[in-house]
Amino acid sequence: MSRSEHHVVVVGGGIAGLAAAWELSGGADPDPDAPRVTVLESSRRLGGPLYSVPFAGRVVDVGPDGFLGRRPEAAELCREIGVGDRLRAIGASGASVYARGKLRALPTALLLGVPTRWWPTARSGILGPAGSLRLLVDAVVPRTDRRGPLGDRALGPLVARRLGRRVVAALVDPLVGGIHAGSVTDMSTAAVLPQLLAVPRRGSLMRALRRAATSGPEGSLPEGAGLVAPAFWSLDGGMSVLIDGLEAALGSRGVALRSGVAAEALRRDGGGDWTVTTSAGPLRADGLVLATPAPVVAQLLEPHDPDAAALERTVEYGSVAVVTLAYPDGAVSLPPGTGFLVARGTRSPLPDAGHDDLLVTAGTFLDVKWPHLRRDGTVLLRASVGRFGDRRAERLGDDELSARVAAELGAILSVTAPPSATMVTRWPAIFPQYKVGHLLRVSGIEAAVRRLPALAVAGSPYRGVGIPACVGSGRAAARDLLESLGGGLLARP
Ligand SMILES: Cc1cc2nc3c(=O)[nH]c(=O)nc-3n(C[C@H](O)[C@H](O)[C@H](O)COP(=O)(O)OP(=O)(O)OC[C@H]3O[C@@H](n4cnc5c(N)ncnc54)[C@H](O)[C@@H]3O)c2cc1C
């Protein structure tokens, strides 16, 4: 059977599934011998959280509003599908953290929140005198790190042992926990900040990270890498430009994009083919890419490999909501930078909040961060709320949530007028939590999946939640599948 006679079904039309479909259809070079491809997406819209909507006279993102430039996969995909001219670089640098009652600029010498120099961190005032003194201990009488048998450790406790608890609460948790909407208390260091496991267990951690930054192999983060450096990209017209572009490019190659159709079960036929039971009837497939959230993969794999299904089920998810707000020009005075972060457990300064913690986990100065969104007359802010273990926002209605967020922004920033427009977007169970041992579980899933014929998995549950990582994982899954269908990329004419 030639490859073009094969039919591959991609389950899940988020960015990972669409990138897989793109690669299956030939990627940068259209492949006349490509298999027939069908993408099944249970919701009415492709793209998952990559979604842009009109708001206050522009089109704004209500899911991710940018992606890291240091990893090339997402920008490359934009160029391949013909929307590279819509890429826009981030328009400002730096950010603040709301600490000890006010916004304070993040120090420059950070590696994803972990200080690499004492003085800039101490001077920022974020840690306070006790926290700064504790940080100094690392330079003078450093503590040795103890690692568990997995070779992995929870990120928070690892950094706390060497640099103190305040560094974790005020810097590492807001930065790294924020990216994953989770907590560094039980987050896998190997999965989210492997550089930390590569440094010696003895001696100053800050000095070792500085050394790794300047002499490390390609891929180690440069000193000063923090929230906004190195560069981020967005798209003029929002992330929907990428999804719409993929939809058009895949359509022109004959890929069938079936939204509103859910995969419900997988069956192996006598001849070794797969049959996907869907909400719109059965679909035969020679190969499958599963690019759905982990609980759905678990359900689909259960009859074929209960162990892989059980491992998929261990991946828990955090929910978030995004509140976008427009203010009249001049009503908000913003500090320098692209936005701010809030440490978990920060008491709300609102007089009627009692002992409640701030709901807002981060704020973005949208039209500072992305100059293409600037318009005279309004200022755009965006606030994130909710993280794993904090479900308070889910109990509030949209109006109540917007009012609470506007009040909190008013207390954090200097705001003299209420917002002229607000919009709430909820993303339930969207962020997979990479807990200690995550990579071991992922290796187990990958090994189990390799034992199943012509099946691959892709997407955020595995080796990175960022858009570039999801694009990379979708394309890698597609290449694996092409190989197992026979021929593979290397055999292409
Ligand atoms: C608010 C927010 C902000 C973010 N910010 C950033 C950022 O700034 N930068 C960045 O790089 N990343 C960011 N991310 C993360 C990034 O957007 C996601 O990790 C990524 O989009 C996940 O892509 P995916 O394809 O793996 O999963 P998804 O997009 O979740 O795709 C899975 C798809 O499978 C579908 N599905 C589920 N069940 C079935 C079924 N039975 N049959 C068929 N289809 C099914 C779902 O409907 C979904 O569309 C953000 C995410 C959110 C929510």
Q: Has residue 198 been placed in a domain?
A: yes
Q: What is the CATH number of the domain that holds 181?
A: 1.10.3110.10
Q: How many domains is the chain partitioned into structurally?
A: 3
Based on the fold, state whether residues 116 and 207 are members of the same structural domain: yes
Based on the fold, state whether residues 288 and 328 are members of the same structural domain: no
Q: Has residue 270 been placed in a domain?
A: yes
Q: Has residue 223 been placed in a domain?
A: no
Based on the fold, state whether residues 133 and 37 are members of the same structural domain: no
Based on the fold, state whether residues 307 and 351 are members of the same structural domain: no
pLDDT in tens, the chain (493 residues): 677 889 999 999 999 999 999 999 999 998 888 999 999 999 999 999 999 999 999 999 999 999 999 899 999 999 999 999 999 999 999 999 999 999 999 998 899 899 999 999 999 999 999 999 999 999 888 887 766 555 899 999 999 999 999 999 999 999 998 899 999 999 999 999 998 998 888 889 999 999 887 654 443 444 444 433 348 999 999 999 999 999 999 999 999 999 999 999 999 987 779 999 999 999 999 999 999 999 999 999 999 999 999 999 999 999 999 999 999 999 999 999 999 999 998 998 888 777 689 999 999 999 999 999 999 999 999 999 999 999 999 999 999 999 999 999 999 998 999 999 999 999 999 999 999 999 999 999 999 999 999 999 999 999 999 999 999 999 999 999 999 988 544 433 3
Q: Has residue 84 been placed in a domain?
A: no
pTM, full prediction: 0.94
Q: What angle do CA 218, 223, 226 make, to 5 degrees?
A: 105
Based on the fold, state whether residues 301 and 444 are members of the same structural domain: yes
Based on the fold, state whether residues 139 and 188 are members of the same structural domain: yes
**By the 8 A CB rule, do 60 and 324 touch?**
yes
Q: Has residue 224 been placed in a domain?
A: no
Q: From the CA of 49, how far away is ligand 1's center (Å)?
A: 5
Based on the fold, state whether residues 11 and 160 are members of the same structural domain: no
| Three state DSSP letters for 317-378 | EEEEEEEEEEEECCCEECCCCCEEEECCCCECCCHHHCCCECCEEEEEEHHHHCHHHCECCE
**In 12-105, which ranges are E strands?**
36-41, 52-55, 58-61, 67-68, 87-89, 96-99, 102-105
Q: What is the CATH number of the domain that holds 389?
A: 3.90.660.20
Based on the fold, state whether residues 445 and 461 are members of the same structural domain: yes
Q: Has residue 225 been placed in a domain?
A: no
- Domain with 475 in it: 3-55+238-315+434-484
Measured by CA distance, the residue closest to atom 14 of ligand 1 is: 64
Based on the fold, state whether residues 175 and 267 are members of the same structural domain: no
What residues does ligand 1 touch, defined as CB less than 6 Å away? Answer: 11-17, 40-43, 48-50, 63-67, 262-263, 291-293, 296, 320, 322, 427, 430, 459-460, 465-467, 470
Half-sphere exposure of residue 91: CA atoms within 13 angstroms, side-chain side = 17
Based on the fold, state whether residues 45 and 173 are members of the same structural domain: no
**By the 8 A CB rule, do 408 and 348 touch?**
yes
Based on the fold, state whether residues 440 and 419 are members of the same structural domain: no
Q: Has residue 76 been placed in a domain?
A: no
Ligand 1 pocket test, pick from 10, 18, 41, 423 with the greatest ligand atom count within 8 Å of Cβ, gives 41
Report the residue count for the chain: 493
